[in-house]
Structure formats: C-alpha cells, structure tokens
Structure 1
Amino acid sequence: MSQPENSRLTTELNLLQAMYPDQIDFVTRSRDLKFTTDISSVLQLRLPETYPDAGLPHVLLASDGFKNDIRDRVKASVAELGLPEGEEALDAIIACFQSVVAETNAADELSRVSRDRQDRVLSPEPSKTVVIWLHHLLAQSKRKLALSPPPNVAGVTKPGYPGVLVFTGPSSAVTEHVNTLKAENWQAFQVRLESAERWHISHGAEVREVETMAEVVKSLEVGLQSARIKDDFLKAVGIK
C-alpha cells in the first residue's frame, strides 16, 4: 500500500491496515482505496485531494460476495450516517458497507432457502414400494421394529410363518426402514418386490399388523390399480 503525504490520512490508513490486515489497498496517485472482505465483497472509494480536511470519500464500486452491485445501497446508507466533513470517515464507511453486505447475504440466503423449498414442492421425492418375505416373524421386538418406520411410510405386516412386510411411501424413507430391518440380520430376509411407485393401503398412511395373508391382500384392494397391485403382490410372495 503506497503512503499519502497527508499525515492525518496516513494515520487513518495505518489504523485501518491494523484493523483489517491484507484487506486494505490504497493507491496514492489515484487516491483510490479498496477494501476486500474474506467473502470476496469489494468496496472501492475515491478520496478527494482535500480529504480528510475537507470533502468525503466517493463510493466508486460496491459488490457483495455474489458479485451483486450494491453501490446504490451503500451510498444511501452512508448518506444516512450524516458524516461531517473535516473528520476521518473511512472506518465508518467500511462498517456501513459491511452492514449492507450482511443484510444482502441474509436476503440471498432466505431467497435460496425459499427456492429450495419451492423446488421440493415442484419436484416431489419419488415413491417406492417393497415387499419383504421372511422365514418367520414372531418376536415382539421384531414386530414392533417393523411397525416403526420413518414418517410418511405406510404399509402392512403379517407375523408368523412366513413373515410378510409391505412398505410404501417416499423412496428415501422406505429405503431407510428396509436398511434398518436388514441390519437386524433376520433369518431368510428377502426383498421379493421393489417398485418405483406408491401403493394405496386401505388403512391410510401408517403401518398396521394383520394376522393372515388374506388380510394383507384385502388391505391392497383400494385404488384404480388395485387388481394389478394385488397380482404383483401375490406373485412376489409365491402364491400366484
């Protein structure tokens, strides 16, 4: 950083350099001061020949970390400060710039979150259905675990010999539940059917236990595709 001749300005610049190491650059010939933040926000000021004795720095350039032009906002914020001429003002202007950048970044983050939420609404997660066959499902602890999926997973379970599990819902949630059950190393745990669709279950968005295979089939007899779904299920468990 080149040094100006004015002793007051030299003192002010030295103080700024101490406050913001490696972030201040001053060119004596053009009297341009550049301030760069650690998130690549940039403020460029031009100092009048008479500053700081008279006149105030002019905002030449101001951009946030996303390269948005925030010069007008910075100028307006500096004007609101009502800085008096004849006094050092660089620190106050830089602080004002940082405040505007923080506000802009917060607004950009809110906008990003809003867009992400909108994208999730417009692009819902794909669905998934699995049919699992077990040699047996008897222990209460196993039956309770099968009936405790993540939110939004529906299905039906049948304990006994054999054990049958049907889970349907958001793909990630169904996969999570199946992986949890797989980790238990149950005997003859087989995924007999895996489909990229959601099956309608007669009792709605929950997992219920029934006693017989006939009740499992009955719980699937809803919706326009019930005949096909019933057929797919029976084939999966080896009944058809």
Structure 2
Amino acid sequence: MADQEERINTELSLLQTMYPDQVQYSAKAREMKYRSAAGAFALRLPSGYLSQSADLPEVLSASAGNKDLREPLKQQVASLLAGEEMLDSIVSAFDELAEEAVKQPPVESGSDNESGKKIDSKATVVVWLHHLLNTNKRKLALSPTPGVSGVTKPGYPGVLLYSGPAEAVHSFVNELKQQNWQAFQVRLEDDEEWLLGHGTGVIEVEAMKDIVAEVGEPRKEAFLEAMRMNSR
C-alpha cells in the first residue's frame, strides 16, 4: 500500500512539473483535474490504481468547447495497460481528442443539428440545493465546461446558476446532478443567456442578495420567483 501511494505521488509530481498550473489533485477525493486552452477533464483514481488489482482511472468529465469527450476518453483509458503509470498518456490522449474537436468546422449559426436543436441555442438553469457545504462539491460547481458562466452560493440553501451554450449548460447540470445531494431541484430553465454582473466565468458569492445583484433588474423577478422568495 505504501509503495502504491509513493508511485502515485511520484507520478503526480512529475505530471505537475510537466503541466504547471494545469494539473490539480485532491488526495482526499482521489480526483485529478487537467485543464488546457482547448478543454478540461477530471479523473478519479480508484483505490486499486497501480496496485495488484490494477484498476483503471474513472473518467468523471471531459469536454472541449461544447463537445462532450467523456466516451472517447474512456475508450482511450481502457486501451492502456493496467497496473502501470498512465496519467501522462491520458493527458496526451485528451489533448489529441480536444485538438481534433476544436478543429472541426463550426456549423452555420442557426442551423439545426441531428437532434433538431439550434446549434447556437442558449440556456440558463437555476438549481436549489438543500445545502452546499462539501469542499469538493463547491470546487466542482465552480469548474463547468468552458464557455459556461454562472454564480454559486454555498450554505443553507445552496444555489447554482449557470448560463451559456445550451448543450454545455445542461450537460454540466446533469453531471452535477449525479453527485450525492440531499436535495437537488432545478427551479428555472430559460432558453436565453443571462448577462451576469461579474462577466464571464463562474464565481462563488456569500448571500442570496449577491446573486440578485449579479442577475440585475432584468432577471431579478424571475430569479426570486424560482427561489420562492417575495421581492417586496
């Protein structure tokens, strides 16, 4: 067991040297995150990684632009030799997948994809949580697919608000929903993108009034109604 952990620590140390500021690892959750200009992915290292049971890392998320790369990355992981250090190979495989994904020519704005949805469609989703306290969940909530902006509020209750490309927003909300929550309620779904006070990206605020300030007067009533709050 000690030898296993030493190998993992050595592998992660080398990886962080090769990709400074791009690789993060949570020892408690055994989760590794990698982010590049093209996209990002997250892995969970099973207890049997690099041990005799030779379990493979689990792909939690993977995306580039608006493209979900989880399945192709899972296939790449499955093709690697179990029992050996493979995180560097996974990073390289993801970089190739992400580069190929962003190289694909964009579909003309307003044209339909196979599902019949507008390629350039936007969305905003507001989620009410019984609470948001867990550090790992808070970090995950702040790391959506590139292109998605939003606001999160920890505590009782917890609130998540995400806005941006429809496919990316709904995909990330569905990913979060798979976590173990006491209560996870989608309170609002809008087919428009909300402009937030802080601009792009996702930020964490302390109180409900801070989210109201972020959404501004145009969206204040819709947000308060979703939260079952009276604005008066």
Q: What TM-score, normalized by structure 1, do the two folds share?
A: 0.48
Q: Who wins on radius of gyration, i.e. which is larger? A: 1
* Greater RCO structure (CA 8 Å; 6+ sep): 2
Q: What TM-score, normalized by structure 2, do the two folds share?
A: 0.50
